[in-house]
Structure 1
Amino acid sequence: MDYPWPEGAATGVGSMPGTDVIESVRTVLGELPDLPHLPELPNRGPGADLIGRGASFLVELPVDLQPSGWRLVDRPGRDLRRALDLMERDLDALTEHAEGYSGPLKVQAAGVWTLAASLELHNGVAAVSDPGAVRDLAESLLDGLIAHLADVRRRVPGAELLLQLDEPTLPAVLAGRIKTPSGYGMLRRPEESTVESALATLVEKVGAPVVFHCCAAEVPWGLFRRSGAVAVSADLTLLGPSDRWSARTIDTIGEELDAGLGLFAGMVPAVLPVAAVSTADQRVAARARERKLSDPATSVVPVRTLWQRLGFDPASLASQVVVTPTCGLAGATDDRARAVLTQVREAGRSLVKDPEA
């Protein structure tokens, strides 16, 4: 199968630390030359967060930030304007610093079911509670993403776009774990066929290959593959040490990989465990630990183990797998973020250099 990324590619999940989008774009383009992405900077505040940024793509469905979260409203206000302004700044930075770039480029947005579970209707209930509202959201998001991708293509004409849809809340939607406004009850879960239909329609019509990202432990691998995704992005460390993965886990993932699903394998920790540092020497030592990571080839041991246990051809590893951090880097320091991106880049290339290691 031909994948829309080169062999041995690596990329980021999306978010970067800090508030300087120009520096983040430069870092991503420099560290991830085979598959860069448009950085997201949630530390800038409301409108740069996953839901506020994702809702800014909605066409004719304005949102506003309430004390309880983002809500669908009748007319656009200051919060939506801020989200749109932040996005415009991000695209301007990409336009300037990706001039002349040619190759795959990934952009990210919140997926329809995560938006539906997070955006409130006028009565304060999550939109996922209303099938009609979900349909409207799905159609509006599709229109907005088509326009967004067209804008990125105009700005970076040599880019071959890849769209990542973030669905961290989808497992909770499928399990009926989205709470009512009181917090004491749970909203009725939608039928899986309804969920799949909404995802498949978006994948079919958006006009770019789609990667679904889910940072939960219960990734719906089969649902994503049946929806037409070219790949699934997941944090493999949530499954535990690779030598202890259960046969059921191996079979579940293996069935979808065998059907051609690409794997964006989150294997390099985005942040280190928090440790108390008080003295100047301890702070210097902590910064050194942030920059120092293990041998890149060690990072991809889990996918090599997976391929071996499934009996797959090792030569397919470098084409089917893209190495990523375990999650976004918004909580990392600048030094740590740069080190992690360097690590995933070298880890991806190690799959090409020695596929049978």
Structure 2
Amino acid sequence: MTGANIPLLAGASSGFGDFPGTDAWEAARVVVGELSVPYLPLLPERGVGASDVGRTAVLLTDFAVEVGPHGHRVAARPGADHKRAAGFLAQDVDALEEVLERDGRSGGAVSVEALGPLSLAVSLELANGHQILSDRGALRDLAASLADGLRSHVAELRRRLRSDVVLRLREPLLEDVLGGAVSTVSGVGTLIALPANAAVELLRPFADIGASGLVVACPLSAPTLAVLRELPGAGVWAAASQLDPEHYDELGWFFEAGRAVGLGLVPEQPQLKPPSVKALLQPALTLVDQLGFPRSTLAAQTHVTCARGFAAKSDAWASRALGLVAKVAAALAEESAG
């Protein structure tokens, strides 16, 4: 996989993360109806197993996980928690497949997400009660298991949805992992920082699991972006609130390298004053203008999403927000043409 796969996301409207409600078919109807690159949503209101940790854990191969007193932990064998999470995933895939086929949208591209191995290793505990991140051997096993599971997941989605699949890997704790800022379970100390070269080694296989593109979402900082640059063909994603001039030059490297750049331009919560498409688009225009790139770069390399997943009970806004995502992506294309 290389930057040559950018056309799948170029100028696209897409999304990720939590979606309100418990109806997988309604969620699929909205994301397929509003977005040029639909995504496989998470519906955490369904309960245990439907969260990002539960969804990602069920993709692991030879690595059973259950829900314990303090969160998710490694188990001896798959149990009721695994079965429940697998059922939710199967339901979500069934719904997306059905709606894509019904609407004649098969054959395009879809986006699927997972927590990355480093952030997942903070959320999962070993039998001794310590996070997997504290055990380098267990961390390597977890990363290999997740890469293997995602390879199978992507292959199944390509077959069933008859679509190209873009992987969105979420590493919200990458900066803390690299900086030695992850608290121990007891909260009285922090785990030893993971060297950048070790992080690259663990993440590199995710650029070669059969997906038609890889975008990594993590906090923007010099250390995290340095890791992302070492992942072959990997794109980057940033919410509008992260588009600080401090990071412009580092983001410019991704444009120069011809990689995908995702922009979370639409707020995930309703605003007192409805935002205009022009106002929502402005951070993207400022970014490329300040970097000295032509505005045509936006349609050639960027895609638009909301800034985060949606809160519970926000059904009306979720549908409207994704409609705004599509309008901002269309306006981005118009600015690029101008």
Q: TM-score, normalised by structure 2?
A: 0.92
Distance 2:312 2:293 in 1: 36
Residue ranges of structure 1 left out of the alignment (5+ in a row): 240-244, 274-288
Residue ranges of structure 2 left out of the alignment (5+ in a row): none
> What is the aligned counterpart of 1:118 among 114, 123, 127?
123
Runs of 4+ in 1 over 4 A off after TM superposition: none
**Equivalent AA in structure 2 for residue 178 of structure 1:** V
**Equivalent AA in structure 1 for residue 22 of structure 2:** T
1:130 aligned onto 2:135: yes
Q: Determine the structure 1 residue equivalent to 2:81.
A: 79
Deviations 1:138-195 (A, max 9, x none): 11111111111121122112x0110111111111111111121211011111111000
1:22 aligned onto 2:25: yes
Q: Determine the structure 2 residue equivalent to 1:62.
A: 64
1:196 aligned onto 2:204: no
**Conserved 8 A contact 1:42-1:330:** no
**Conserved 8 A contact 2:303-2:329:** yes
Q: Determine the structure 2 residue equivalent to 1:295.
A: 276
Q: Determine the structure 2 residue equivalent to 1:146.
A: 151
Give how far 1:227 is off: 1.0
Larger Rg: 1
Distance 2:276 2:194 in 1: 44
**Conserved 8 A contact 1:7-1:352:** no
Distance 2:335 2:242 in 1: 26
**Conserved 8 A contact 1:270-1:332:** no
**Equivalent AA in structure 1 for residue 261 of structure 2:** L
**Conserved 8 A contact 2:118-2:177:** yes
Q: Determine the structure 2 residue equivalent to 1:323.
A: 304
Report SS of the residue matched to 2:336.
coil
Q: Determine the structure 2 residue equivalent to 1:42.
A: 44
1:312 aligned onto 2:331: no
Distance 2:328 2:313 in 1: 19
**Conserved 8 A contact 2:121-2:132:** yes
Distance 1:198 1:327 in 2: 25
**Conserved 8 A contact 1:31-1:342:** yes
Q: Determine the structure 2 residue equivalent to 1:256.
A: 254
- Percentage of matched positions with identical amino acids: 37
For structure 1, which segment, 35-44 or 198-207, has the greater mean C-alpha deviation from structure 2 after superposition? 198-207
**Equivalent AA in structure 2 for residue 347 of structure 1:** V
Q: Determine the structure 2 residue equivalent to 1:160.
A: 164
Distance 1:177 1:208 in 2: 33
**Equivalent AA in structure 1 for residue 262 of structure 2:** F
Q: Determine the structure 2 residue equivalent to 1:340.
A: 321
Report SS of the residue matched to 1:228.
coil
Q: Determine the structure 2 residue equivalent to 1:242.
A: none
**Conserved 8 A contact 1:271-1:332:** no
Distance 1:6 1:178 in 2: 33
**Conserved 8 A contact 1:62-1:76:** yes
**Conserved 8 A contact 1:64-1:73:** yes
**Conserved 8 A contact 1:212-1:231:** yes
Give how far 1:7 is off: 4.0
Distance 2:58 2:79 in 1: 12
**Conserved 8 A contact 1:197-1:227:** no
Instruction: Count matched residues.
Output: 331
Distance 2:337 2:99 in 1: 37
Distance 1:107 1:229 in 2: 17
Q: Determine the structure 2 residue equivalent to 1:277.
A: none
**Equivalent AA in structure 2 for residue 18 of structure 1:** G
Give how far 1:228 is off: 2.1
Q: TM-score, normalised by structure 1?
A: 0.88
Deviations 1:311-330 (A, max 9, x none): 10211211211011001113
Distance 1:81 1:90 in 2: 14
**Conserved 8 A contact 2:171-2:216:** yes
1:9 aligned onto 2:1: no
Report SS of the residue matched to 1:354.
helix
**Equivalent AA in structure 2 for residue 9 of structure 1:** A
